[in-house]
Amino acid sequence: MAKGTGPETVIAHGVRLEGDLVAEGDIVIEGEVHGTVKTKGDLRIGDQALVEANIEATNAVVSGEIRGNIVVHGKFELFPSSKMTGDVITEVLAIGPGAQMNGNISMGGDVVKGKKRAETVDES
């Protein structure tokens, strides 16, 4: 995984986080997160993890379960054990055999850039 600009954050198996997790560096989730997840780095979700959150990351690799919408500016990979319920916006998508994906998928660099522009306008 490419490194973000800050230190890595690891939510271990057996730990529950509720709220907004915002990080500069990479995030690894092996436990539970409920809320939002945002990083300028990469995101890895382990096979025992449960993430009920809207997510934004540069790249993401998922083996566990996500319930929420996700925006990935680079590559979004769903491993065979993963379960995704929500909408996906990403530049590159890879879905392994056996992975479950339920939601809308929007792909391509223009879509991701358009989403970013919309967010910038909303913020201003």
Of 47, 35, 40, nearest to 99 by C-alpha is 47
The Cα-based distances of 74 to 10, 19, 80, 93 in angstroms read 21, 25, 20, 9
| Near another protein in 59-78, by CB under 8 A | none
Among 5, 12, 96, 113, binds another protein (CB under 8 A): 12
Per CB under 8 A, does 21 bind another protein?
A: yes
Of 23, 29, 30, nearest to 3 by C-alpha is 23
| Stretch binding another protein (CB under 8 A), from 7-15, 77-85, 86-94, 97-105 | 7-15
Among 5, 19, 80, 94, binds another protein (CB under 8 A): 19
